[in-house]
Chains A and B, each alone.
Chain A
Amino acid sequence: MADRDYGFRTRALHAGNVPDSATGARALPIYQSSAFVFDDAQDAAARFALQKYGNIYSRLANPTVASFEERIASLEGGLGAVATASGLSAQFITFASLVGAGDHVVASSNLYGGSITQLDVTLRRFGVETTFVASDQADDYAAAIIPGRTKVLFAETIANPSGDIADLEALADVARAHQIPFIVDSTIATPYLCRPIEWGADVVTHSATKFLGGHGTTLGGVVVESGRFDWSNHNFPLFEETVPHYGGLTWYGNFGEYAFLTRLRAEQLRDIGPSLAPHSAFLLAQGVETLPYRMQAHVDNARAVAEWLEQDARVETVRWAGLPSHRHFDRAAKYTPAGPSSVFSFDVRGGREVGEKLIENVQLASHLANIGDAKTLIIHPASTTHAQLTEQQLADSGIGPGLVRLSVGIEDVDDIIYDLDQALSAATA
């Protein structure tokens, strides 16, 4: 192996995909097998006891899934990764590994609606309380921390649909000062635009369904850990307690910096079970091969579309932090210098009615509840993705009745603008 630090584009193509040792296959083989044979009884016992790792059962690990995991870990600059069936399950196993009844989470109020309900409905029912911070200032997150009870700080790199940018460095400082991990969902940024671990994040989650896969074909999620958080700091006693079902080991004592990810796989995937399917891993890994080129095209198109919308009299506001008018323009320049991704929203003059008409009249942009497809997508959040939120939660998320969310694709940008122009004309006629 070379000691060279290979570049991002090279790693997007090669990381995690050394040619198959058995067959020499150059492309990633799809190991469509639920289980894997043991060599003998001794081998089986050692694998089950985690004394050595081998494939056991695809809920825990699968060679095709592993390739996708290593690729994302490499691109994020993490120690490793655990892939899951969806972005929300990536988040769920992360929370499930770190919080229990009586514990407290501090999270941004700007999160994706499904993340808010995961914390506010399901985890709350399990006895985990979450404080949602309706502020972009790290000090307000610090003030929400309950010493001894708060176990994680959670935010998104780029919020949707407000376009807000998290102050990653300042939030990481807050988390570090309280000896709790800073968990960042970086779905919208992808590691091409921003690598939160470089700004101090401890854990990064993704919905791989979006830009990572990139083609709107496949659900998946992934959890990446930096390997830098001290899991023996006594805020997380489960890492230091004896684990009877694994022969009396302790996660931190036996695995050190590898403790979090080893436990996430051996305990949370084992007990909760939202594994990524091998075929899905193949499709997502294939998508990641072109991530750098797609993301550059996405932000280039987003810039042109955002600038065009902003100068259009039919449009009230455009919430893309790459525009100087956005309150987080400076943050975007710091954390996402190539551009703050291509998911953003705008408010049309005329409110809800014009917004809905615009969506009904687009011919190229697809009206659906997803983001991060190569194709341009459009939706009206107040009546769809964020419909389950209360008025107050909607306001906290920065969603007005006439707000339209775009996920700008990589079509010819003139065509995207043509489509929005004709739909705006139809909506305001």
Chain B
Amino acid sequence: MSETSIPTATAEATETVTLANGLTCDLPADSPLAKLWKSQRTWVGPSAKERLAILRKATSVAIVGASPNPARSSYFVGTYLKQSSPYRVYFVNPNATEILGQPAYPDLQSLPEVPDIVDVFRRASDIPSVMDDAIAVGAPTVWVQLGIWNEEAARYGESQGLTVVMDRCIKVEHARFHGGLHLMGFDTGVISSKRQAR
């Protein structure tokens, strides 16, 4: 009840769209073309219940593309996960040495354990390579952050056995089920006669 979250979006939200000529390109997620393509999405990720199950099962989260800049969304997510969730949180950024008082790791291979969730703050076009990195270390779930969309990468990840969540904020989703969104007056969609998960 006491610690809850503010929802965040990614600062550099991009979407990979396939053009009529077959080429793909990254567009700002708020551009009219990207919005048009949003209505043409076909990939459907895990349901609310399945997302809750992913979050409940996990004990560790690696944030790929974590930033040491306090104004960035990844910093908000890192702060929230460290302080308001039970997860062991790791930061991956080859250009940083320390984030939120913890060492920043250059890649997933360097982490002291295999993370249950790889949470990604990277451009849409970088998602396939992050999927490959996750598969290489044996991480079961890749969680692509709010505002980032790459259907091809999602399907690829799933074909390789990964659980994929996309265009969702892990902080918002955790807060939805653990009281944070509720506390700020947002509709969590949670209707339950059981005590709130802690």
Contact = CB atoms under 8 A, between A and B. Distances in A.
B190 A18 contact: yes
B9 interface: yes
| Most chain B beta-carbon contacts within 10 A, residue among A11, A54, A257 | A54
A53 B147 contact: no
B83 A42 contact: yes
B166 to A, nearest CB: 15
Nearest to B51: A1
A285 interface: no
B39 interface: no
Interface string A33-52: 00010010011001001111
How many A residues touch the partner, as a band?
35 or more
Interface string B106-145: 0000000000000000000000000000000000000000
Contacts of B193: 14, 19, 26
A80 B187 contact: yes
A59 interface: no
A1 B190 contact: yes
B71 A52 contact: no
B98 interface: no
Nearest to B9: A256
A232 B147 CA distance: 13
A402 interface: no
Given A3-B48, A42-B83, A21 B1 contact: yes
A262 interface: yes
B157 interface: no
A82 B185 contact: yes
Interface string B163-197: 00000000010010101111111111111111110
Interface in B66-92: 70-71, 73, 75-76, 79-80, 83-84
B6 interface: yes
A100 interface: no
Given A21-B198, A46-B79, A51-B79, A1 B185 contact: no
A271 interface: no
A53 B6 contact: yes
Contacts of B79: 46, 51-52
Given A46-B79, A52-B84, A253-B73, A18 B196 contact: yes
B11 interface: yes
B108 to A, nearest CB: 25
B89 to A, nearest CB: 13
Given A52-B80, A253-B11, A265 B184 contact: yes
Contact of A265 (B47, B73, B185, B191): B185
A386 B139 CA distance: 66
Interface string A240-280: 00100001111011111110011001000000000000000
A252 B13 CA distance: 11
B47 to A, nearest CB: 5
B93 interface: no
A238 B111 CA distance: 40
B52 interface: yes
A255 B185 contact: no
B184 A80 contact: yes
A74 to B, nearest CB: 5
A296 to B, nearest CB: 22
Given A21-B198, A52-B4, A254-B76, A46 B185 contact: no
A53 B9 contact: no
A151 to B, nearest CB: 19
Interface of B: 1-11, 13, 30, 47-49, 52, 70-71, 73, 75-76, 79-80, 83-84, 146-147, 172, 175, 177, 179-196, 198
Top 5 A-B pairs, shortest CB-CB distance: A256-B9, A69-B185, A80-B186, A51-B79, A248-B71
